[in-house]
Chains A and B, each alone.
Chain A
C-alpha cells in the first residue's frame, strides 16, 4: 500500500511537470497543443534508447530527452507558425499520432508495439524496490519544484510578459516591436523540453515504454489537470495534477466494486468517467479552480475585478 501511494505520488509529480510544460505553451503563450503526449513520448524514447543501446549515463539520457523534445517542439512550432488555432489543434494531434505510428513501426529501433523493457533506473540495483520508489519520488518532487520556480520566474519576467501579450493580442505585441515568432518558438520549445523531461523520467521509473502508453487520452489527462487547476497559473497546474491522479486512481478502486462487469467493461467505464469529468470541469469552470491572477501595476485588485 505504501509503495502504491508513493507510485501514485510519482505519477502525480510527472503529471505536474507535464502540466507545467503545457502551461508555458498554452497558458502563457496561448498556443494550442493537442499533441503534448508526442513530446512526452519523444523524451521517453530518446532517453531510454540512449541509456539502453549506447550505455549513456541516465542523467545524460534524461537531458538529451528533454533537449531533443525541445528541438522537435521548435520545429513543430516553426512549421505551424502561420496557422490559426483550429488548424494547430489538428496538426498537433496528428503529430502525436504520427510519433506513435513511427514508434510502433520502426521495430529495429523501438522494438515496435512490444515496447522497450529493462530501461535502467538510477541506483535501481543498489536500492530495494521500496527505497527506489522513495528516492524517485524525492527526485521527481525536486524537479517539480525546480521547474515550478523556473517557470514562475519566467512568468514574471519580461519574457513571460511578452508571451502573455502575444497570447492576448499578437498584433499589438508585434506593433510594440516584439519578434512574436521567436517568442512563440522559444516558448513552445521550452514547454516541450519540460514535457520531454517528464517522459524521460517516466521511462526510467517504470523501466518499460511502449507506443500504447502514449495515447491521446494522456493529453486529455494533462489538459484536465491544467483546466482543473487553472490555465495560466502554475500553482494551479500542480494542484490540478494531484487532483487528476487522485481521481484517476479512485476510479480504479470504485469501478471493480460494481458487480457483473467484465475487465473490458471496467476499463471502458473508467475512461468514460474520466472524459465525462473533463466535460463537466470544462463546462463548470473553464478558467480552472485557481484562475490566473490578474496582475496590473497601477490598478488595485478590486478595480480589476470591477473591470472584468
Chain B
C-alpha cells in the first residue's frame, strides 16, 4: 500500500513537471531565439514575461476577455515592448560587445519591472478564471485550467516550429543564426531579422509569463522569479537551439517537481541553477546546442 502511494506521488510529480516544463518551453524558446540571432543572454526576458502577464491581466480582468484572447494580448504587448526596447536601448550596445549588452539588459529589466510596479503596485493579482473541479484518474489529479495552459503551450510551440521550418522569415532567421555573413550575402536583411526576433522572442516571453501566472498569481516579480528556470531550460537544452529549449524545459520542469521528493519547495529555483552547473560541467554545449567555449 505504501509503495502504491509513493508511486502515485511520483507519477503526480512527473505529470506536474511535464506540464510545467511544456509551459516553461515557451519563454525558453523566446530566450533561445534571441540568443541564436543576437548572440547575447538577454536578461530582459524577465521583465517582458512580467509585462505579458500584466497585459494579459488587464485584458482578462479589466476588459473581461476570456483567456485565449488575453493570451494574444500578452504576446502582442510584450512583443511590441520588446521590439521598442531592443531598438531604442539594447541595439546601440551590441557594438560594444555581448557583456555590455547583457548588463544593459539587466538594467533594462529592472527599469521595466519598476514601470509595472509603478502602475500596478506590489500586491498579488489573480486572473479571472472560471472555477472548475480538478479531474481525477488513477489517483492522479489535474486541473482543467492546467490542461488548457498545456494545450496553449503545445500549440504555440508547434506554431514556432512551423514558423521556423516553413515560412520565409523563419528560414531567414535560421540562416542568420547559423551564419550571419553568409545570410547577408544571400540578401537577408539582418536588421529586419533582428527586429522580428526581438518581437517574437519577447512576445513568447510575455505569453510564457501569463501562462506561468495563470496557475497561481502575478506581481511585478513574476518574470524575475522565473528567470533562473527559463535560463536553465535554454542552457540545458543548448543556448540558441529551439528544439533544445523544449527538451531543456522538460528536463528542468520535471527536475524541479521531482526535487520536491527530497528538497523543500523553496529550493525549486536552486534546482535550475544546479541543472545549469551540471550540464555546463559535463556537456557545456547543452543537450542539443553548439560549442559553449
Is residue B114 within 8 Å, beta carbon to beta carbon, of the partner chain? yes
Nearest B residue to A82 by beta-carbon distance?
B293
Nearest-neighbour CB distance to chain A for B46, whole angstroms, equals 10
Is residue A127 within 8 Å, beta carbon to beta carbon, of the partner chain? no
CA distance A104 to B266 in the complex (A): 9
- A264-B99 contact, Cβ under 8 Å, with A83-B292, A84-B292: no
Is residue A140 within 8 Å, beta carbon to beta carbon, of the partner chain? no
Whether the Cβ atoms of A86 and B284 lie closer than 8 Å is: no
- A91-B93 contact, Cβ under 8 Å, with A82-B284, A268-B118, A279-B104: no
Nearest-neighbour CB distance to chain B for A76, whole angstroms, equals 10
Residues in A whose Cβ lies below 8 Å from that of B111 = 271-272, 275-276, 279
Is residue A176 within 8 Å, beta carbon to beta carbon, of the partner chain? no
The residue from A32, A83, A102, A217 contacting B293, defined by CB atoms under 8 A apart: A83
Is residue A283 within 8 Å, beta carbon to beta carbon, of the partner chain? yes
**B169-220 contacts to A (CB < 8 Å):** none
Is residue B103 within 8 Å, beta carbon to beta carbon, of the partner chain? yes
Whether the Cβ atoms of A282 and B292 lie closer than 8 Å is: no
Whether the Cβ atoms of B293 and A86 lie closer than 8 Å is: no
CA distance A91 to B292 in the complex (A): 13
The residue from A32, A87, A89, A105 contacting B267, defined by CB atoms under 8 A apart: A105
Is residue B54 within 8 Å, beta carbon to beta carbon, of the partner chain? no
Whether the Cβ atoms of A286 and B100 lie closer than 8 Å is: yes
**A79-123 contacts to B (CB < 8 Å):** 79-80, 82-87, 89-91, 93-95, 97-98, 101-102, 104-105
| Complex interface bits, A249-288 against B, C-beta within 8 A gives 1, otherwise 0 | 0000000000000101101110110111011001100100
CA distance A237 to B103 in the complex (A): 17
Residues in B whose Cβ lies below 8 Å from that of A283 = 92-93
Residues in A whose Cβ lies below 8 Å from that of B100 = 282, 286
- A83-B284 contact, Cβ under 8 Å, with A90-B41, A279-B111: yes
CA distance A95 to B100 in the complex (A): 20
The residue from A32, A105, A272 contacting B114, defined by CB atoms under 8 A apart: A272
Whether the Cβ atoms of A94 and B103 lie closer than 8 Å is: no
Whether the Cβ atoms of B107 and A278 lie closer than 8 Å is: yes
Give the dominant DSSP class at B's interface. helix
Is residue A147 within 8 Å, beta carbon to beta carbon, of the partner chain? no
Contact-residue bracket for chain A: 35 or more
Residues in B whose Cβ lies below 8 Å from that of A102 = 270
Is residue A63 within 8 Å, beta carbon to beta carbon, of the partner chain? no
Whether the Cβ atoms of A101 and B266 lie closer than 8 Å is: yes
Residues in B whose Cβ lies below 8 Å from that of A84 = 292-293
Is residue A223 within 8 Å, beta carbon to beta carbon, of the partner chain? yes
CA distance A87 to B118 in the complex (A): 32
Further 17 A-B residue pairs, CB within 8 A, beyond A87-B293, A268-B117, A269-B118: A82-B284, A83-B284, A85-B98, A86-B40, A90-B235, A90-B276, A91-B276, A93-B43, A95-B273, A97-B269, A97-B273, A101-B269, A265-B118, A271-B110, A282-B100, A282-B104, A286-B96
A residues with a Cβ closer than 8 A to B are 32, 34, 79-80, 82-87, 89-91, 93-95, 97-98, 101-102, 104-105, 216-217, 219-220, 223, 262, 264-265, 267-269, 271-272, 274-276, 278-279, 282-283, 286
Supply 27 A–B pairs (Cβ within 8 Å), ascending by A.
A79-B281, A89-B102, A91-B276, A94-B228, A101-B267, A101-B270, A102-B270, A105-B264, A105-B267, A223-B103, A262-B121, A264-B118, A264-B122, A269-B118, A271-B110, A272-B110, A272-B115, A275-B111, A276-B111, A278-B107, A279-B108, A279-B111, A282-B93, A282-B96, A282-B100, A282-B103, A286-B96
Give the 5 A-B CB pairs with smallest separation, nearest first: A268-B117, A275-B111, A272-B114, A94-B273, A268-B118
